[in-house]
Amino acid sequence: MSETILIRGARILGGAAQDVLISGGTVTEIGTGLEAPGATVVEAAGHILLPGLVDLHTHLREPGREDSETVLTGTRAAAAGGYTAVHAMANTFPVADTAGVVEQVWRLGKESGYCDVQPVGAVTVGLEGKQLAELGAMADSAAQVRVFSDDGKCVDDAVIMRRALEYVKAFDGVVAQHAQEPRLTEGAQMNEGTVSGELGLTGWPAVAEESVIARDVLLAAHVGSRVHICHLSTAGSVEIVRWAKSKGWDVTAEVTPHHLLLTDELVRSYNPVYKVNPPLRTEADVMALRKALADGTIDCVATDHAPHPHEDKDCEWAAAAMGMVGLETALSVVQHTMVDTGLLDWAGVADRMSARPAAVGRLAGHGRPVATGEPANLVLLDPAYRGVVNPAGFASRSRNTPYEGRELPGRVVATFLRGRATVMDGKLT
Amino acid sequence: MKRHLISAADLTRDDALLILDTAEEMARVADRPIKKLPTLRGRTVVNLFFEDSTRTRISFEAAAKRLSADVINFSAKGSSVSKGESLKDTALTLEAMGADAVVIRHHSSGAPHRLATSDWINASVVNAGDGTHEHPTQALLDAFTMRRRLSGVGRDLDGRRVTVVGDILHSRVARSNVLLLTTLGARVTLVAPPTLLPIGVEQWPCEVSYDLDAVLAKSDAVMMLRVQRERMNAAYFPTEREYARRYGLDGQRMAALPEHAIVMHPGPMNRGMEITAEVADSPRCTAVEQVANGVSTRMAVLYLLLGGSEPAISTDRSDSARTEESK
């Protein structure tokens, strides 16, 4: 922590080149022509300096599915992707629905040292949607849980959802809803549309997401609470969130990198690497999501990093698990879809991938401006880099990326967690 | 011809006509006292069936045996598959045993495609029905039957009007028939209650109607699809009786068809549901003929995919890659 680092010539949020001095875990000086004898110097000409990324939606799989990811491997993947904090989803085995489990995950995060791990608590016991989990106990625990989610499953009972939204107001919590009407999506395999009809795969209609979001923004308004929408995936969902925000309701939403880039046309290959929940949608949805992220209707990018072992994808479509890893490619996909297209500048990226997710999660010390006196949670990236995604080089234990073989721009050069480099010269330390 | 038969969309008009013309030659074998050709001697055809389907399996089995191929029937029930073996491991096993062709029936849409495009196996893959996706050999035998009855051997189905009635949403037969019959020049109309039509069907190369009576008089062939009774429980239609009244083919409706029109059914039939006994047993119904034609058509497919008596075609990886690119 006591290391002194001088970053030379970095473009803070894409602005003019400046030097940044880090010492004692804090940004101590910003200017030009800085000198710091004895400091580790990072030459960063042409590189962009952003606040460390914050993920609201990460599946670290531990406890229970250490064959696909552990807190250690997942946080290494996060650091490699430029993240300094991740929210660990609750659908582990056992489910993170007690103070004991969230404290275990929180402690494993502390021990990993690569990235802060903020556990998400389950809304209901065992993600069953029937009985509220002890939300207060999780909030009061060492993990200080503020985000609650049954992600993977929808809190579909309107009364349970209403009570959860009301109850978490006591400790400024938020319910992050996985919006999926269960009856409309029984056996669903992919987006319902022209492609599903041709492929003979059971459809997951947009209305199954949109109807739940519509209900939940109305519920949140009614009880005066805040609600966060996980992995919003359709143009219709964007319209509903936009309307709710126009009413002044406390509604936030996230989009995944894959929903900003990929469409259901890829499912024609029947390659389960494209199987994900919510499913890949249409080109029109992708464009609506990009626009909504640009104009702020969608608050943040969240990876929904979902590691799966090889055998769960090396099979026929219906037998395959849903989900994609995303931590190590998120920033590149956002550069490709949002920055290189002119929809968002680097300050916008910092807002959508760091400041706003930290605000939704009430996470102290993250998502802060790059300024003197602020905690040195930072990511340095080279936007000029072009590389082909090769999952063999991933820090994650799993390889289920939909981008294998695809050229994407940008590369994380260094990540700093409270002044300590977790990544340096593009490599984990 | 490509190396695999996964979708009716893979077949050009020339491919389809070649199969149908070859099937005519194969049909002649059935009229001989010894119903056997030596063309696939020494080749191994595996029937890999993950779903119960006695009639399709024995049709492929008869087809392969009439071509003198060695036939291995691999049924998922009572095999290692029921003990949790993956499709991949099953495929690797068949590969190791030297299968030249794998005829696969699978409950999961896309499983044959996955088998053909994976690096698990080098054999030719024939889709014998995958989930609610496709059943291309059924479409071929249907086209073969229509051609014989309606337009004559050696010709395509130019201008023939084919009406397909029933559970289009879950029907692999309907999907393959729309693709193949359109390729062969026929005009297809799908008839079903709106609940049993897939989203996006308006983009298929066919007409859609909710009214069976409105299209009967304009049909050269009516294909009745099997409707599973359990669909009723998922609210696709209110009762069996209502379905039969609105979408079933009875004697009165059959009388509304043009004189030359035929009634087809891929089997097995639900008598009293989508088709009455009177229609099923009438001379206009080609259900039994379709079964016989199925053997000839599948003989043609296996013969053409496996190169007949020609030397074994190259099945190395580069060949597979080219096949994929050309799709």
Token pair of A220 as six digits: 């949140």
Q: Are residues B141 and B182 in the same domain?
A: yes
Return the axis-axis angle of helices A206-223 and A235-246, rounded to nearest 10°.
10
Is 50 exceeded by the pLDDT of residue B313? Answer: no
- The confidence score (pLDDT) of residue B84 equals 67
Can you say which residues of B are annotated as belonging to the binding site for carbamoyl phosphate?
55-56, 105, 135, 138, 267-268
CA distance B107 to chain A (A): 9
pLDDT, tens digit, 9 for 90 and up, residues A365-391: 999 999 999 999 999 999 999 999 999
Q: Are residues B265 and B305 in the same domain?
A: no
> Which of residues 176 through 195 in chain A touch B, CB cutoff 8 A?
189, 192-195
Indicate whether B2 belongs to any domain. no
What would the mean pLDDT of B80-89 be, rounded to a whole number? 74
Fold match flag (A4-48+374-428 vs A52-360): no
Same domain for B15 and B124, yes or no, is: yes
Which pLDDT value is given to residue A88? 98
Q: What is the pLDDT of residue A242?
A: 98
Q: Are residues B142 and B174 both part of a single domain?
A: yes
The position carrying tokens 């319209």 is A239
Note whether B177 and B152 are same-domain residues: yes
Q: What is the ipTM of this complex?
A: 0.89
Range of the domain at B124: 8-135+291-325
The domain total for chain B is: 2
Q: Which of B114, B135, B147, B298 is catalytic?
A: B135
Chain A residues whose CB is inside 8 A of the B107 CB are 318
CA nearest to A97, candidates A61, A58, A139:
A139
Specify if B247 maps to a domain: yes
Binding residues of B for L-aspartate: 83, 172, 226
One of 3.30.70.600, 2.30.40.10, 2.60.120.340, 1.20.120.530 is the CATH number of A4-48+374-428, namely 2.30.40.10
Domain ranges in chain A are 4-48+374-428, 52-360
Is the pLDDT at B81 greater than 80, yes or no?
no
pTM for the full predicted model? 0.93
Segments of chain A with pLDDT less than 70: 1-2
Decide if B132 and A200 are in contact by the 8 Å CB cutoff: yes
- Please name the member of A193, A199, A269 whose beta carbon is closest to the beta carbon of B133: A199
B3 in any annotated domain: no
Which tens digit of pLDDT belongs to each residue from B116-129? 998 899 999 999 99
Q: Which of A183, A194, A199 to mutate to test the interface with B (most CBs of B within 10 A)?
A: A199
Determine the pLDDT at residue B207: 98
To the query of whether residue B55 is one of the catalytic residues in this protein, the response is yes
Which percentage of chain A shows pLDDT scores above 90?
A: 99
In terms of domains, do B204 and B275 share one? yes
Averaged pLDDT of chain A: 97
Q: Is the peptide bond between B268 and the residue preceding it cis, with omega within 30 degrees of 0?
A: yes
Task: Establish whether B107 is a catalytic residue.
Answer: no
In this prediction, residues B1-30 reach a mean pLDDT of 93
Q: Same domain, yes or no, for B106 and B217?
A: no
Taking only the tens place, the pLDDT of each residue in A274-288 is: 999 999 999 999 999
Task: Say yes or no: B14 and B126 in one domain.
Answer: yes
Residue B166 lies in a domain: yes
Report yes or no: A265 at the B interface, CB cutoff 8 Å.
no
Catalytic residue among A19, A150, A304, A312, which? A304
CATH code of the domain containing B300: 3.40.50.1370
Tell me the CA distances in angstroms from B76 to A187, B32, B45, B84, one per residue in order: 22, 35, 16, 10
Task: Clarify whether residues B127 and B80 are in a common domain.
Answer: yes
Q: Are A97 and A127 in contact (CB under 8 A)?
A: yes
> What residues of B are designated binding site?
55-56, 83, 105, 135, 138, 172, 226, 267-268
Residues B285 and B147 occupy one common structural domain: yes
Count of CB contacts below 8 A, A vs B? 76
Calculate the CA A404 to chain-centre distance.
Answer: 20
**pLDDT for residue B312:** 31
Do B199 and A197 count as a contact with CB atoms less than 8 A apart?
Answer: yes
Residues 6+ positions from A369 with CB-CB distance below 8 Å: A51
Percent of chain B with pLDDT over 90: 80
Pairing of strands A300-301, B262-264: unpaired
Pair B199, B306 in one domain? no
Q: What is the pLDDT of residues A171-214, one digit of tens each?
A: 999 999 999 999 999 999 999 999 999 999 999 999 999 999 99
For residues B241 and B313, membership in a common domain is answered with no
Q: Do B200 and A194 touch (CB under 8 A)?
A: yes
pLDDT at A2: 52
Q: Please say whether the structural domain A52-360 has been given the CATH code 1.10.540.10.
A: no
Quick: pLDDT tens for B173-196: 999 999 999 999 999 999 999 999
- Residue A39, burial from CB neighbour count under 10 angstroms (0-12, 13-18, 19+): middle
